Amino acid sequence: MATPMKTTFRTMLALSILFLSVSFQIIKTRLNVTIRNELGNTEQGVKVQLFEKEEDYNTETNVAAEGVTDAKGMVIFKELKAISYFIIARTEEKDNSGGGEQTGKLEANRVNKVTVVIQ
């Protein structure tokens, strides 16, 4: 016969396992992009665009997602495909041309992170 303490422990363990399995399924593929300048400082107000194909990136058409960095220099893209993206990060004076234009393949159902330098 199980004691109340054992029953409570088993119930809490089962609920914890259930919660963990549900939370892994809830997370969509995300990409957190941090923009830094040539001095390593984060940049607010940078327009960031993601492209699925290199041709679209080169012609700046068919934007897959876009956003603007916040006060911490970050923009978060949610519910993305688990693929590699081409990135354009631009202000009126600076951009990321010449380096850091493509992410690695994103991991599905995870929070992926990348830092892009603009100059």
pLDDT at position 116:
96
pLDDT at position 20:
57
pLDDT at position 26:
75
Q: What CATH class does 28-118 carry?
A: mainly beta
Question: Could you read off the pLDDT of 14-46 as tens digits, one per residue?
Answer: 666 656 555 555 789 999 999 999 999 999 999
Give pairs for 109-113: CB < 8 Å, separation 24+: 109/24, 109/25, 109/27, 109/28, 109/29, 109/82, 110/27, 110/29, 110/30, 111/27, 111/30, 111/32, 112/29, 112/30, 112/31, 112/32, 113/31, 113/32, 113/33, 113/34
The residue ranges of the chain whose pLDDT is under 50 are none
pLDDT at position 12:
66
Domain ranges of the chain: 28-118
